[in-house]
Structure formats: C-alpha cells, structure tokens
Amino acid sequence: MLFKQLFACAELSIEEKAYQLSTEILIISLNNAAVIHCIRNIAYNCRDALQFMKDTGVKGGSMAGSTILMVDDEAEIIQLMSIYFNNEGYKLLQASNGLEALEILQSQPVDLIVLDLMMPKMDGLQACMKIRETNPIPIIMLSAKGQDIDKISGLSIGADDYVTKPFNPLELIARIKSQLRRMNQFNAAAVNANEIHIENVVINIASHTVTVDQQEIKLTPREFALLHMLAVNRGMVLSMDRIYEEVWNEPFMESKNSIMVHIRKLREKIEPNPREPRIIKTVWGIGYKIESDLKARGE
C-alpha cells in the first residue's frame, strides 16, 4: 500500500508526501537491497526538489495547461521528461535542434523553452540569441558543461536559468514552475500598466478601447483622448484651456462649447446616470476632474 501511495505522489510531484512515504518504506525494507536502492533514489530526488522549492519560494502548484517546448537531440531525455510534463498537466512540444525550435515558435504558442546547449545544425546559444531578438519567453538552458563560464555565457545571451546535466527531473520541474510563475506575474503587471480602472470603466491604453461593465463602448479618438487625459490626472482639476490644447492640439480660443459637448457625450456612454455623474465631475468656472478616490468596482 505504501508503494502505491509513494509512486502516485512521486508521479504527481507531491514531493513532501513522497519524501515522507519513502522514508517509511526504507525503515521497513532494511533487508532488501534492491528496494532500498530504488526508494532511496526517489527519496533523494524528492528531498532535493523540496530543498530547491524552499530556497526559491516555489510552491508545488504545476501551472497546468502551460505549453513547454523542449529542445534536445537526446530523445531519451525528452521521453523521460514527457512523463513528468504529462503529470503536471503541461503540453509538450519537442525539437531536436535550434532550427526546428524556431519553426515551432513561429507556428504555435509556447509558454516556456527548455533548451539544450550542444545540438546539431543550430546549437542552444545560437537559438537563444535568435529567440531573444523578438521573444521574451522564459528559457531554461540545459548543458553537460557545468563550469561557471559556461553558465555565465548561457545567462548573458538571454537564458533565464541554467541546469547542468545529468539533472534531477523534479528539480527541473520546480525551476519550470518558478519561471512560469514569474512570467505570469510579469504579464499581469504589464496588463495593469496598460489599463486604468475607474469604477466599472476600464480604459485600455494599448488598444485604445474602453469597456463599461465588461462591454466595449465606441468612442471617437477625441473622446478617448479626453477620457484618458482625465483618468491619468485623477484628483486634479483640468482647466478648459489645458484640456483643449492637449486634446485638440490647438490654441484655446473660447472653445468651451466643444469641450462641453464631448464631456456630455462621454457621460452618456460611461455614466449610469449622465445627469448625476459619478465619474467625470464639473468644477464650475474652472474645468473637469475625475476624483482620485474612485477605484475599480470590487476593490
């Protein structure tokens, strides 16, 4: 029973439980050398993976659904890692050299690359440099070269991590989780940097789109520029002349009516009750503002 539990935990990368079970089996199997050798290897692998996760802060979650491109001319290594990737819920794409890897990247979405250094046709260093010209995807370099200068070379040309062969599969899985988590956090931060949330309104700066209650609304370029200007200056009263000169890109010459018409149209599109606006406030005699304390709904 302990054996079944152990191998199930090891296959699922439940490292802590597998390590505990392997210790129990070792205690009751002291007279069987073959069992001891097998279980000790599992225990050491789990122990090393646990130590790596403790050192790096990586948790056991697998980030299931991610696509991993493994580039290695040793088919046995890819075959071994495919078992671990499958257990983690990863989709595996494979290539035997850098040229094949580049072709796959052009045709399929990939979340992370495990890239061997020494390969025919195009080696890992050349492939990494080529990938880095256009793609910030996480890259973990694999190599039998374990000297510091080799690691420095790999990291300096764009690799995010470096694992020396022969390696512990569980450690590689832990490093993959770490890189995927870091990339997800980076992507989330990038999305937040491109979006402004005010109540139920989301302004996407990169795509020049605005949604209200998750429904996209149509704004003219000038309406978008006006809303964006007010949003990035939340808490500040923007005068009529400043608004006109920045949005219309012309000198202000008694153009209050144009601004007022655009504000009215904006309110009709984003305010629940345009006659009692909550978002775009009028400061009589001066201009308009969006209050600084307005946050995304639910915060």
C-beta separation of 144 from 165 below 8 A: yes
Pairing of strands 209-212, 195-198: unpaired
10 and 78 share a domain? no
- Helical H runs in the chain? 2-11, 15-28, 33-56, 75-88, 98-107, 124-132, 148-156, 169-194, 221-232, 240-247, 256-270
Task: Mark whether 73 and 166 lie in a shared domain.
Answer: yes
* Domain span holding position 106: 67-193
The domain tally of the chain equals 3
Q: Tell me, yes or no, whether 149 and 255 share the same domain.
A: no
DSSP assignment string, 5-16: HHHHHHHTT-HH
- pLDDT value for 197: 87
Q: Is residue 62 part of a domain?
A: no
Let me know if residue 94 belongs to a domain.
yes
Residues 6 or more apart whose Cβ sits within 8 Å of residue 186 = none
SS3 74: coil
Residue 110 vs residue 1, higher pLDDT: 110
**Does the N-terminal peptide bond of residue 166 adopt cis geometry, omega within 30 degrees of 0?**
yes
Q: What 3-state class would DSSP assign to 146?
A: coil
Residue 299 resides in a domain: no
Distance, CA of 116 to CA of 141 (rounded, Å): 6
CATH of the domain at 133: 3.40.50.2300
Q: Give the whole-angstrom CA distance, residue 282 versus residue 266.
A: 13
pLDDT in tens, 61-108: 455 688 899 999 888 889 988 998 888 889 999 999 989 999 999 888
User: Is residue 39 domain-shared with residue 114, that is, in the same domain?
Assistant: no
Same domain, yes or no, for 108 and 172? yes
Kindly state whether residues 240 and 219 are assigned to the same domain. Answer: yes
How confident is residue 299, by pLDDT bands cut at 50, 70 and 90? low
Q: In this predicted structure, what is the pLDDT of residue 157?
A: 78
In a domain, 240, yes or no: yes
- Say yes or no: 122 and 38 in one domain: no
285 with 183, same domain?
Answer: no
- What the block records as the tokens of 264 is 């009215």
Burial class of residue 150 in the structure, from the number of CB atoms within 10 Å of its CB (0-12 exposed, 13-18 middle, 19+ buried): middle
Do 283 and 170 lie in one domain? The reply is no
User: In the numeric block, which tokens belong to residue 3?
Assistant: 């054996």
pTM above the 0.95 mark?
no
Q: Which of 193, 228, 248 is the last residue of a domain?
A: 193
Domain boundary among 193, 220, 235: 193
Same domain for 180 and 71: yes
Q: Does residue 60 form part of some domain?
A: no
Mean pLDDT value across residues 132-136? 83
Question: Is residue 163 within 8 Å of residue 113, measured between CB atoms?
Answer: no
Evaluate whether residue 113 is within a structural domain.
Answer: yes
Of the residues 174, 193, 212, which one is the last residue of a structural domain? 193
Backbone angles phi, psi at 58, to 5 degrees: -75, 135
* Residues 21 and 71 placed together within one structural domain of the fold: no
The pLDDT assigned to 102 comes to 92
CA distance 26 to 28: 6
Is 120's pLDDT higher than 90? Answer: no
Give residue-wise pLDDT tens across range 192-238: 667 888 888 999 888 889 999 989 999 999 999 999 999 988 888 89
Q: Is residue 223 part of a domain?
A: yes
User: Is 44 part of any domain?
Assistant: yes
pLDDT at 191 over 70: no
Three-state secondary structure call for residue 138? coil
Average pLDDT over residues 252-263: 83
Same domain, 188 and 71: yes
